[in-house]
Structure 1
Amino acid sequence: MATDLSVNKCPEQYDTYNFSLPERYRKIAQDDLGETDEIREQSLAIMRDWIAKHPSIKTCRTDALFLLRFLRMRKFSIPRAQETLERYLAMRQTFPQWFQNLDPQDETMRELIDGNQFQILGQDSSGRTVILVQLKNFNPDRFTSTQQTRHMMLPLEITFDDEKTQIGGYVIILDYADFTMHHLAVWSLTDIKNIMDCVNHSLPIRMREVHAIRVPRFAVTVAELAMTCLSTKLRKRIFCHKSMMEAKKHLDESLLTTDYEGGIQDPQELKRKLIESVTEKRHQLLQLDGMEIDATKYRSMWHQTSDEDIESGVTGSFRKLTVD
């Protein structure tokens, strides 16, 4: 498929889409998302016409892969896909420190990638894309929460356009081994709430399961705060485990890295592949900054509460936990 990644919302000609994945993904798409060739074609046409006429959207990608991010996430409910696209565009402008200029050649970004905190493990037996997050690999003495969020967006953005991921969704493994108060302290409570709201409403991410492993006691209250920002449906897909051994009962062990008993993937090879992928898609990542929406009316969607206001209701118990 020849893909035009321009941000012109009214191109002279739209790209032509052809489904080229293995048949198992066609079946998943039809069974889980209600996607057929006819529905897909009709939905893309409606989305493109809507973007062309949208008074607040100034520039936007209209290629099939980009629009299918939102259509597949919302199971081809066009109103919900449109709302998520609006929020995605507004989010990028409301929080440019997190989502813009995601340049894999930036020196700081390369240092973060080299830390190997985020690893794309591949697809499991159900066709879901599995991402491993080893939180201990983030250096809180060297980097800020803003830089950590930007680093998180790199593997997400390159998988948003991956059709296997769009259809199969994500399994996220959060390994809290050796996670310390110092790692947590770089985050403000307001930022945590806003990030969770972005995940819940604005990022085109089909979250199938989240497995949190070895969550330390001092982080439980903040984790509970983050959970309150998520939908009931998403909260039911989050599972906590005391150990990786326990978590492996729910995961494809063959996808794990050699850091874990039974894992066979080389973390350094996974890092090499990630660097290769983000470098190859650098132009695509930077081109996202060319999209523009009048975000004024959307900014109220995100929490404007101060940390002090949040702390009055949450941090008292958080502090109690940390000193016990």
Structure 2
Amino acid sequence: MGGEYVCTLSPELVQRAKDEINEVPERRAADIEHIRDWLKHQPHINARMDDWTILRFLRGCKFSLERTKEKLDMFYTCKTLCPEWYKNRDPQDKKMRAILELGTFLPLPGHDSQGRKVIIIRAAGHDPKEFTMDEVFKATHMISDIMVDEDEPMSITGVVQLLDMEGVTAGHAMQMTPAIVKKAMTIWQDGYPMRPKGLNYINTPAAFDTVFNIFRSFMKEKMKKRVSNVFSALIGSKNAQECPERKERRPEKMYPSGGKTYKIIDHMRSQGHKYFVEV
């Protein structure tokens, strides 16, 4: 999307936007223009000015103009302070291509029963001897940027992450330093124009709590309440009905097949050149 915003939402999602995030269609253009005018007076922010980019941030902040300004400032500040994640983002680069093909971060096609985007994250998808965590996060954020640019319903319904810990080794755990975790959680919670609705873990190893407690220390209270161990929910706990991956959608059945996995990856990689020319 770009330029002047053209709504692609269903009537149901338009109503949901009114009810859940205070979006008033008749006022939408004025709110976008207010933020655009503010951005023009912020010399330290080199922002995209198109309607859709600004609207994503407004939706992510429930149309609070002040919160939108804060989030935009944080988003572009993070880009400046984290060049290791936001510079030289070429999806055809040999190393980036290799990471993308691992499928460590996969937005699934479509949405779950509550309309949310589901992302599968394979924490052990990369070899820690071959790839640094900064390189993995760079690839992850490249995909995230394309995803939020393309998926308008997600800007209303939010996103759920399914973090698969199967195969995690001490080498993977040692890469998740407090500095890396703090950076990731700050960008995710305070910078991105997403609406995180859940962070769910499966196949957690015995030493999982040590790493998880680092993540938890940087989570806001609202996010802490949205974290769950999906394995317990899947086997019939009282939280089963609240979990987006219910019994009938066990994680092993959610993984795309090999062909579909590469279709997702190829799409993200092919769209990268078009999108990142502006970043």
Shared fold by TM > 0.5? Answer: yes
Structure 1 residue 88 displacement after superposition: 0.5
Does 2:264 align with 1:273?
A: yes
Who is 2:22 aligned against? 34
Q: Identity of aligned pairs, percent?
A: 25
Who is 1:201 aligned against? 190
* Aligned partner letter, 1:82: K
Does 2:187 align with 1:223?
A: no
Who is 1:53 aligned against? 41
For the 8 Å contact 1:255–1:263, the answer to whether it is kept is no
Q: Within 2, Cα distance between the matches of 1:264 and 1:108?
A: 24
For the 8 Å contact 1:115–1:137, the answer to whether it is kept is yes
Deviations 1:155-205, CA, capped at 9 Å, x for gaps: 211112221111111010001112111111223221212221222211222
For the 8 Å contact 1:102–1:154, the answer to whether it is kept is yes
For the 8 Å contact 2:233–2:246, the answer to whether it is kept is no
Q: Flag the structure with more relative contact order, 1 or 2, with Cα contacts below 8 A and sequence separation at least 6.
A: 1
Q: Within 2, Cα distance between the matches of 1:243 and 1:111?
A: 34
Does 2:176 align with 1:187?
A: yes
* Aligned partner letter, 2:261: L
Structure 1 residue 72 displacement after superposition: 0.6
Deviations 1:13-62, CA, capped at 9 Å, x for gaps: xx3222122222212211111112123112101001101122433x3211
Structure 1 residue 114 displacement after superposition: 1.3
Normalising to structure 1: TM-score of the pair?
Answer: 0.78
* Structure 1: gaps (5+ residues): 4-14, 289-324
Structure 1 residue 256 displacement after superposition: 6.2
Deviations 1:219-247, CA, capped at 9 Å, x for gaps: 31221121121111111111123468449
For the 8 Å contact 1:145–1:186, the answer to whether it is kept is yes
Q: Do the aligned partners of residues 155 and 233 (structure 1) sit closer, same or farther apart at CA in structure 2, a change above 3 Å counting?
A: same
SS of residue in 2 equivalent to 1:136: coil
Q: Do the aligned partners of residues 21 and 287 (structure 1) sit closer, same or farther apart at CA in structure 2, a change above 3 Å counting?
A: same
Q: Do the aligned partners of residues 175 and 60 (structure 1) sit closer, same or farther apart at CA in structure 2, a change above 3 Å counting?
A: same
Q: Within 2, Cα distance between the matches of 1:189 and 1:243?
A: 27
Who is 1:300 aligned against? none
Who is 2:119 aligned against? 131
Q: Within 2, Cα distance between the matches of 1:280 and 1:245?
A: 35
Q: Do the aligned partners of residues 187 and 77 (structure 1) sit closer, same or farther apart at CA in structure 2, a change above 3 Å counting?
A: same
Instruction: Please list every run of at least 4 consecutive aligned residues from structure 1 whose deviation after the TM superposition is greater than 4 angstroms.
Output: 252-257
Normalising to structure 2: TM-score of the pair?
Answer: 0.89
Structure 1 residue 268 displacement after superposition: 3.2
Who is 1:302 aligned against? none
Structure 1 residue 118 displacement after superposition: 1.4
For the 8 Å contact 2:103–2:265, the answer to whether it is kept is no
* Structure 2: gaps (5+ residues): none
Does 2:166 align with 1:170?
A: no
Structure 1 residue 280 displacement after superposition: 2.3
For the 8 Å contact 1:254–1:263, the answer to whether it is kept is no
Does 2:72 align with 1:85?
A: yes
For the 8 Å contact 2:123–2:168, the answer to whether it is kept is yes
Deviations 1:91-119, CA, capped at 9 Å, x for gaps: 00100101222211111111111111111
Structure of larger gyration radius: 1
Does 2:93 align with 1:106?
A: yes
Structure 1 residue 267 displacement after superposition: 4.1
Paired residues, what number? 273
Q: Do the aligned partners of residues 272 and 256 (structure 1) sit closer, same or farther apart at CA in structure 2, a change above 3 Å counting?
A: farther
